[in-house]
């Protein structure tokens, strides 16, 4: 479980560097699919990861507003701020937490029950999925996307 989070963090960091070569206009340009722009996608990934990890622990979530984070350095700052808490939770994950329950309040007042294991895999898949969208937009701009390879990144347990 942890290794796929580490993978996502490595890839995300490479995308931040990749973004440094883009103009603000390119980063904020509204694109087809996903949440709209390249920068908002990265913001959304950071926000969603942190929010889920807060929520399952019964901690308060707050909704960040993208309007306050419209530069790559601001998104990286937010990420750095959230990351400590996320990393601590992920690195202390153990299999006994797998079936812990999270009661997910729906907008109609009903509850869905997720296990913590489901939520963790949801976070993992969420980021990889959105990064796949970035890879298409990168080619639209005429730039090579960051490799999505898991192998070759030193993420084996030896």
Q: Name the binding residues.
A: 44, 126, 130
Determine if 119 is a binding residue for a second copy (CB under 8 A): yes
CA distances from 152 to 1, 39, 49, 131, 148 (A): 18, 27, 25, 18, 11
Give the count of alpha carbons within 13 A of 84, CB side only: 4
Tell the smallest beta-carbon distance from residue 62 to a second copy (Å).
21
Tell the smallest beta-carbon distance from residue 83 to a second copy (Å).
20
Q: Is 114 within 8 Å of 14 (Cβ atoms)?
A: no
Determine if 2 is a binding residue for a second copy (CB under 8 A): no
Contacts (CB under 8 A) with a second copy, residues 31-50: 31-34
Rounded distance between C-alpha atoms, residue 150 and residue 7, angstroms: 7
Determine if 152 is a binding residue for a second copy (CB under 8 A): yes
Tell the smallest beta-carbon distance from residue 35 to a second copy (Å).
11
| Closer residue to a second copy in complex, CB, 80/141 | 141
């Amino acid at each position: 479980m942890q290794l796929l989070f580490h993978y996502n963090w490595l890839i995300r960091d490479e995308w931040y560097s990749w973004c440094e070569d883009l103009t603000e206009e390119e980063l904020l340009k509204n694109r087809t699919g996903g949440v709209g722009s390249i920068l908002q996608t990265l913001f959304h990934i950071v926000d969603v990861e942190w929010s889920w990890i807060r929520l399952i622990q019964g901690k308060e979530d707050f909704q960040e507003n993208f309007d306050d984070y419209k530069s790559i350095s601001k998104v990286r700052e937010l990420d750095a701020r959230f990351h400590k808490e996320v990393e601590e939770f992920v690195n202390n994950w153990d299999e006994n937490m797998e079936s812990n329950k999270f009661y997910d309040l729906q907008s109609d007042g009903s509850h869905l029950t997720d296990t913590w294991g489901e939520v963790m895999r949801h976070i993992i898949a969420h980021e990889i999925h959105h990064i796949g969208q970035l890879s298409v937009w990168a080619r639209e701009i005429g730039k090579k996307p960051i490799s999505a390879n898991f192998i070759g990144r030193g993420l084996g347990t030896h």
